C-alpha cells in the first residue's frame, strides 16, 4: 500500500468475534429448528441464498428476547478473535477511524464496539424493535444491512473524510464491497469461504486479527507502529 487509509471497517461475526450471533441464538431455539437455521446462515454467508430471504426467516423463527441479545453481546466480547482489541487500538494510534459494518443485530454489536472503544456513530448494524416486556417485535426493515448489497450502500454513504478505506470481513456480503473500497481484506481466521477468498484484494488466514495489518498500512505506518512497544508485536512474522 502506498496511500494511507483514512478508515478501516470490520464485520463483526466471524471477523471481530469468532462466533455467529444468530447461531448462538439457537441455544434458546427448539431442537427441531436448530439444524435448519444453521443451514440457512451458512447458505447466506456463502452466497447461495439471498440474505434478505434468510434474514427474515431466521428472525421470525427465533424471535429473540432483549435479554437473549444482551447475552449474545457478552458472548461476542468473550469470543473476540486474538488481538482484536490491540489491532483496533493500533489503528487508532495511527490516526485512523475504525468502525463496524455488520448484518448482525445492533444491540449486541454495540456491546462489541463499547468494549473496543469504537464510537457509537461508527457502528452500523440492524436495529431491532422490542415490546415493553422485552419480547421481539421486528427488525428495522429500513436498514440496508439485512439484504445483499446493503454494505455497499453503507460504505458509499460514508463521508469523504472516511475515504480511502478498507473493509475487513469473512462473508459474501463483505466481499460485495470490493469495488467500492480501496481494499477489501478477506478474513479467514475463523472460517475460510472460497468465494470470499477469490474476490478479496488480500486474504488472511491467521487466527489473529493482526494478520490484517500488513494489508491496511503503508510501509511508513508499519515503521511507526513498530516503534511503539505496545504494538510492535502485532507486526511480528508469527502474526502475519
Count CA atoms within 13 Å of residue 112 on its CB side.
37
Per the listing, cell 417485535 goes with 137
Which pLDDT score, from 0 to 100, does residue 1 have? 66
Nearest to 199 by CA among 211, 212, 185, 210: 185
Where are the chain's structural domains? Answer: 7-239
Nearest to 155 by CA among 131, 190, 183: 183
65/52 Cα distance (integer angstroms): 21
Taking only the tens place, the pLDDT of each residue in 67-114 is: 999 999 999 999 999 999 999 999 999 999 999 999 999 999 999 999
Nearest to 211 by CA among 179, 168, 181, 165: 168
**Fold of the domain spanning 7-239:** Rossmann fold (3.40.50)
Which pLDDT score, from 0 to 100, does residue 145 have? 96
pLDDT in tens, the chain (240 residues): 678 999 999 999 999 999 999 889 888 888 878 888 778 777 877 778 777 778 888 888 889 999 999 999 999 999 999 999 999 999 999 999 999 999 999 999 999 999 999 999 999 999 999 999 999 999 999 999 999 899 999 999 999 999 999 999 999 999 999 999 999 999 999 999 999 999 999 999 999 999 999 999 999 999 999 999 999 999 987 666
Taking only the tens place, the pLDDT of each residue in 120-134 is: 999 999 999 999 999
Amino acid at each position: 500500500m502506498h496511500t494511507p487509509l483514512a478508515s478501516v471497517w470490520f464485520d463483526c461475526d466471524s471477523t471481530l468475534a469468532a462466533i455467529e450471533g444468530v447461531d448462538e441464538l439457537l441455544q434458546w431455539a427448539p431442537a427441531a429448528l436448530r439444524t435448519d437455521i444453521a443451514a440457512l446462515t451458512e447458505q447466506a454467508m456463502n452466497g447461495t441464498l439471498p440474505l434478505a430471504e434468510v434474514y427474515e426467516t431466521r428472525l421470525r423463527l427465533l424471535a429473540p428476547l432483549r435479554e437473549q441479545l444482551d447475552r449474545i453481546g457478552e458472548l461476542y466480547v468473550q469470543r473476540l478473535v486474538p488481538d482484536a482489541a490491540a489491532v483496533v487500538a493500533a489503528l487508532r494510534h495511527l490516526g485512523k477511524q475504525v468502525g463496524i459494518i455488520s448484518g448482525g443485530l445492533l444491540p449486541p454489536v454495540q456491546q462489541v464496539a463499547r468494549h473496543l472503544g469504537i464510537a457509537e456513530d461508527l457502528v452500523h448494524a440492524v436495529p431491532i424493535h422490542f415490546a415493553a416486556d422485552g419480547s421481539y417485535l421486528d427488525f428495522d426493515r429500513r436498514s440496508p444491512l439485512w439484504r445483499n448489497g446493503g454494505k455497499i450502500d453503507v460504505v458509499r454513504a460514508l463521508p469523504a473524510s472516511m475515504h480511502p478505506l478498507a473493509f475487513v470481513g469473512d462473508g459474501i456480503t463483505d466481499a460485495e464491497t470490493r469495488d467500492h473500497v480501496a481494499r477489501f481484506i478477506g478474513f479467514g481466521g475463523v472460517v475460510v469461504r472460497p468465494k470470499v477468498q477469490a474476490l478479496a484484494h488480500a486474504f488472511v488466514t491467521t487466527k489473529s486479527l493482526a494478520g490484517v495489518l500488513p494489508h491496511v498500512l503503508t510501509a511508513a505506518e508499519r515503521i511507526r507502529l513498530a516503534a511503539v512497544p505496545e504494538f510492535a508485536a502485532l507486526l511480528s512474522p508469527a502474526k502475519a
